Chain A
């Protein structure tokens, strides 16, 4: 946790300083430098611990999410989102949700993002101009609410109590496997499952109808 916050803090300070220059992308060098500094400061015995890897994956996830939002080229945003989805899949693995981790890669990173790549390629989108930034009230509102959010997180972490963060403990046998999930899906949540399949058919037909060219 401290690793993650330290890394984000260093990068945030650097980005703030850098934002006074006309540059819209966080320099990769800053991020790498932050990682190097944090690694040097960290206790080497923790390097194989779950806490270290969770912090590292969390850092990559947040950095890639920021790049999704900041980078002007839509295709590069898609690539960073794919990286982010991979990090979330790794988080699912840490949380004993192994089936969900692989499903995340197959469906989200492997199908939905391909759809996005297709559309960006089809429409041949280039770099866009400008952000939709509002005027004065929006800016001051953003600063106030941002500070409030930061304070909220700070106090939530500060008052977390005595137990260590990464104590996932052993999960039950078969927790998170396909067998467990499938068992629930076909017995208790069967109606939702059938409704989801109807939803998917409706979405498929809708997408085909919407994107179809009119036959002349």
Chain B
């Protein structure tokens, strides 16, 4: 019962992030919306950790943050490498393997 507010917030933020990934063109903004989704998930984990009084939820949040950091670093490096080749961060332009 106590946890619904945070679950609702997590759901809303996750949806907004999802829409952002689907709709935006700029690769960097897409990466940011992915971070938004990861944060929504973190919020949900922390809410459940609080409700069940179990620290396992918070440990998971810790690991999600670590993985998000690693993924953001590598993702941005890829975007930079792509930009050096094509002078654009538009994902619609990265269409070599599209049919």
Asked whether any CB of A lies within 8 Å of a CB of B in the complex, the reply is yes
Interface set of A (CB-CB < 8 Å, partner B): 1, 4, 54, 58, 61-62, 65-66, 68-69, 74, 77-78, 81, 84-85, 88, 91-92, 95-97, 99-100, 103-104, 107-108, 111-112, 115-116, 119-120, 122-123, 125, 128-133, 149, 153, 156-157, 160-161, 163-169, 171-172, 175-176, 180-181, 184-185, 189, 192, 196, 199-200, 202-204, 206-208, 210-211, 213
Known: A85-B39, A116-B76, A168-B50. A111 touches B69 (CB 8 A): yes
Q: What residues of chain A lie closer than 8 Å to B11, measured between beta carbons?
A: 153
Query: A131 CA to B19 CA in the complex, in Å?
Result: 11
Partner of B19 from the list A69, A107, A156 (CB cut-off 8 Å) is A69
Q: List 15 A-B contacts (CB under 8 A).
A: A4-B5, A68-B36, A69-B16, A69-B33, A81-B36, A91-B46, A97-B50, A108-B69, A112-B73, A131-B23, A131-B24, A164-B1, A168-B2, A169-B2, A192-B63
A91 touches B50 (CB 8 A): no
Query: A184 CA to B13 CA in the complex, in Å?
Result: 29
Interface string of B78-92 (1 = CB under 8 A from A): 111101100001111
B1 touches A161 (CB 8 A): yes
A69 touches B24 (CB 8 A): yes
Query: A180 CA to B24 CA in the complex, in Å?
Result: 40
Question: DSSP majority for the B interface?
Answer: helix
Question: DSSP majority for the A interface?
Answer: helix
Q: What residues of chain B lie closer than 8 Å to A131, measured between beta carbons?
A: 23-25
Q: What residues of chain B lie closer than 8 Å to A132, measured between beta carbons?
A: 22-25, 91-92
Interface of chain B residues 53 through 99 with chain A (CB within 8 A)? 53, 55-56, 58-59, 61-63, 65-74, 76-81, 83-84, 89-92
CB of B61, distance to nearest CB on chain A (Å) = 6
Other than the given A84-B13, A165-B4, 9 more pairs (CB < 8 A) read: A62-B9, A88-B39, A107-B65, A107-B69, A153-B8, A169-B2, A203-B74, A210-B80, A211-B80
B79 touches A95 (CB 8 A): no
CB of B11, distance to nearest CB on chain A (Å) = 7
B62 touches A116 (CB 8 A): no
Q: What residues of chain A lie closer than 8 Å to B80, measured between beta carbons?
A: 119, 122-123, 210-211
Q: What residues of chain A lie closer than 8 Å to B6, measured between beta carbons?
A: 91, 95
Q: What residues of chain A lie closer than 8 Å to B24, measured between beta carbons?
A: 69, 128, 131-132
Q: What residues of chain B lie closer than 8 Å to A107, measured between beta carbons?
A: 65, 69
A189 touches B76 (CB 8 A): no
B70 touches A69 (CB 8 A): no
Query: A109 CA to B15 CA in the complex, in Å?
Result: 21
Query: A84 CA to B37 CA in the complex, in Å?
Result: 12
> Smallest CB-CB separation from A149: which chain B residue?
B15
A210 touches B77 (CB 8 A): yes
Query: A163 CA to B3 CA in the complex, in Å?
Result: 11
